[in-house]
Amino acid sequence: MAFGVFIHRQDSIYDDSPAERYQFPPQYLGRVRACLGDWIIYYEPRKLLETRGYFALAKVQQIIPDPATPNMYVALIEPGSYLDFATPVPFTGARGVIESGLLNEEGRISGRAQSAVRPISPMDFERIINLGFEERDPLLPRNDSGAATGFSEAQTPFLFEEDRERLTFVTSRIVRARVFRRIVLRAYSERCAVTGLKLINGGGRAEVAAAHIRPVEANGPDIVSNGLALSGTAHWMFDRGLISLSDDLDILISRHANDVDGIRAFINGSGRAFAPARPQERPHPHFLQWHRENCFKQ
């Protein structure tokens, strides 16, 4: 098993869904197999407009021939393992290229940087996840000494087993919920998608929650396109199927609601949910369909 980097772009010709599957041609089969059962980092190329750089973490669960496309393969992502970085990591930082393994003997970027799938050293892997989950307020549990055991700013000598233990924190529901809230609220500018209101309490905290469209209990991933920023009342109505969204983000009101007019007065005047500016962060029709079919009271 080994760590890897998978390149993904929103305008890709491949049938990818980063939280679920990664399609690739046979020339990369050996490299993807090396990552089987291990963690990979997703990366958007530098030439992509508004690139996020290194933007997410996921675990490869299985590799199969693509049943829909001849001579192609699919890496299936372990359910619940995908997690966007709290802070996307650029290709280069103050000290140069973040992924130092891409440099050749002359210190220049080698052709390996163009590979859609490539191995990454444990040291580079640690450096990227340190930066990706770096926060002012530690997201991760603390050790006995009171220092953060999470992805600290200071780089420490790499120890393989310590890094494996560190990765277990990423699977913590508490940690994942905090990161999910941060990335969803950032995408929605801390504004409720249903009411359009941006309310900040006296402590400077946004009065909206990060709601999963398809719940975690139903294998819903911690990805922005499976999230909505919702105020308390809107969140309650959404979870109980009193409201839902069409694929075009029209707000749907259940016929079973006992105060339809009150709900109409509650939602914003356009009748459509507010959405993130980045297309890839908007609610995905796949998750919206699940909510309509499994939660919404038609």
Domains in the chain, please, with CATH?
4-149+158-169 (3.10.590.10), 178-294 (no CATH)
| Mean pLDDT, rounded, for 60-78 | 95
Percent of the chain with pLDDT over 90: 57
Q: Give percent helix, percent strand, percent coil of the chain, each to the nearest 5.
A: 30, 25, 50
What CA–CA distance (Å, rounded) separates 196 from 214?
A: 21
Is the pLDDT reported for residue 141 higher than 60? no
Largest pairwise CA distance in the chain: 71
pLDDT score recorded for residue 168:
66
C-beta separation of 256 from 297 below 8 A = yes
Quick one: pLDDT band at residue 93, thresholds 50, 70, 90? confident
H or E segment to which residue 264 belongs: helix 260-266
CB burial of 75-85 (b: ≥16 within 10 Å; e: otherwise) equals bebeebbbbbb
DSSP 8-state secondary structure symbol assigned to residue 184: H
Average pLDDT over residues 113-121: 91
Please determine, for residue 239, whether its predicted confidence score (pLDDT) is greater than 80.
Answer: yes
Instruction: Please list, in sequence order, all residues whose beta carbon lies within 8 angstroms of the beta carbon of residue 236, skipping any fewer than 6 positions away.
Output: none
Comparing 12-26, 123-137, 258-272, the range with the smallest average pLDDT is 123-137
137 Cα distance to chain centroid: 20
Take residue 153 and report the two structure tokens written for it.
């700013």
User: Can you tell me which residue has the tokens 């909505």?
Assistant: 228
pLDDT of residue 32: 97
**What pLDDT score does 158 carry?**
40
d(CA 240, CA 181): 20
Average pLDDT over residues 163-175: 68
Count the neighbouring beta carbons within 10 Å of the beta carbon of residue 37. Answer: 12
| pLDDT given for residue 75 in this prediction | 97
- Region 262-287: mean pLDDT is 92
pLDDT of residue 148 exceeding 60, the answer is no
Confidence band for 231, pLDDT divided at 50, 70 and 90: very high
pLDDT on residue 8: 92
> Between 112 and 142, whose confidence is greater?
112
Q: Given this model, what pLDDT does residue 114 score? A: 84
User: Could you tell me which residue, 280 or 28, shows the higher pLDDT?
Assistant: 28
More confident residue, 66 or 258: 66
What DSSP designation does 109 have? B
d(CA 179, CA 210): 10
In order of 97, 101, 207, 252, the CA distances from 277 in angstroms are 29, 34, 21, 22
Instruction: Count CB-CB contacts under 10 A for residue 245.
Output: 24
